[in-house]
Amino acid sequence: MEKKTKIHAEENRHDLTITREFDLPVELLFKAYEDPEIVAQWMGTKVIKLESKKHGAWEFETSDPNGNVVFKANGVIHDFIPNEKIVRTFEMDNINFAPQLEFLEFEKLTDGTSKLTMQIIYKSIEHRTNQLKLPFAQGLNMAHNRLEEIVTKLK
Amino acid sequence: MTSLYLQSNNCVMEIRRDVFQAIADPTRRAILSLVAVQAMTPGAIAANFNSSRQTISKHIQILNECELLHQTQSGREIYYHLNPQKMKEIDNFIEPFRQMWEDRFNKLESIMKNYKK
C-alpha cells in the first residue's frame, strides 16, 4: 500500500514538509481546517478556541479518559485565505519547546481531489528533532500509563 | 483481522517498513513496554488487555515476525522477551510522526466524505 502522507525532512535543517493528497474537493479539505467541530473530530482534541481569520487565535486541549489534560496547544493565525492557505503558529503548553511556524497550502488537483502541503519551521535543528520524537515518546508514555493503571488496579 | 494478516505478510517482504507499522499500533506498543519489564507468557500478556486472547496473540505474532520480540521455551511455557537490538534500529523517529499525521488525515478524509453529496 502506498503511503499517502509524505514527510520531507532534510538532514540538518530546521524545517520539514508534510504532503498529502485527499480524495476530497479542496473546499471540503479546507472546511476540515476551518470548522472547530470538524477539527475536534479528526484531531481527536477539544477545540477551546478557533478563530478562523487573519489575526485570529486557536487553542486545543486533549484529556485522557480520566479527565486529566494531557496535551494543550495554542497559536495565532497570521493569514487565512479560504481554500488557499493558512499561516499560523503552534506552541505547546507545559513543555519547553519554542513555537513553530506553519504554512498550510491547499491546492485543487481535480474537482474531487486536492493536496495539502504543510511546511513547519522550527527554531533550531534540535527543536525539530525533539518535536519529531514526541509521537513515539507519547506512544510509549501511553503504554506506560496503561501499565500504571493496571498496576494500580492490582493493589 | 485482514489488515493484521496483510501486515504480517508485508513484514516478511519489507521488514524495515513494517517494524514501524508494528510500533505504530498502541496495543503493540503496550505489549512491548510490558515485556520490556520482564519476559512474559502469551497468557500473562493477554491478561493485561480487554481484547480477546486471539487478538493479542495476533499482535504478538506480528511483533515476533518483525523481530521486536524473541521467544524462549521454559518447560511447556513460551516466554516472550523484548529484542533490544531491534528496538535500537528504530532510531528513525520520523516514521511515528508520519504515522500520526497519516492517522489524522485518514480520519479527516473519512469525516469529510460524509459532507460530500
pLDDT digits (tens, 9 = 90+) for A77-112: 999 999 999 999 999 987 788 999 999 999 999 999
- CATH domain A15-124 topology: Alpha-D-Glucose-1,6-Bisphosphate; Chain A, domain 4 (3.30.530)
Partners of B102 on chain A (C-beta within 8 Å) are 3-5, 20
Note whether B33 contacts A24, CB cutoff 8 Å.
no
The pLDDT value recorded for residue A52 is 96
Which three cell numbers, joined as nine digits, stand for A137? 515518546
Question: Taking Cα atoms as reference points, which of B101, B102, B110, B99 lies closest to residue B28?
Answer: B99
Mutate to test the interface with A, among B38, B115, B117 (most CBs of A within 10 A): B115
Query: What is the b/e burial string over A2-28, where b = at least 16 CB atoms within 10 angstroms of the residue's CB?
Result: eeebebebeeeeebbebbbbbbbbbeb
Which three cell numbers, joined as nine digits, stand for A109? 488537483
DSSP A94: T
Could you state, in order of their start, the residue ranges of all structural domains in chain A? 15-124
Note whether A143 contacts B113, CB cutoff 8 Å.
no
End-to-end CA distance of chain A: 45
A43 to chain B, closest Cα gap in Å:
6
Higher pLDDT, A58 or A7: A58
Higher pLDDT, A131 or A100: A100
pLDDT at position B22 over 80: no
pLDDT at position A46 over 50: yes
What chain B holds in terms of domains, given with CATH numbers, is 2-90 (1.10.10.10)
The pLDDT value recorded for residue B25 is 79
Q: Which residue of B has its CA nearest to A37?
A: B111
Q: Which residue of A has its CA nearest to B100?
A: A135
The pLDDT value recorded for residue A139 is 58
Query: Is A3 near chain B, with CB under 8 Å?
Result: yes
Helix B26-37 × helix A125-154 angle, to 10° = 70
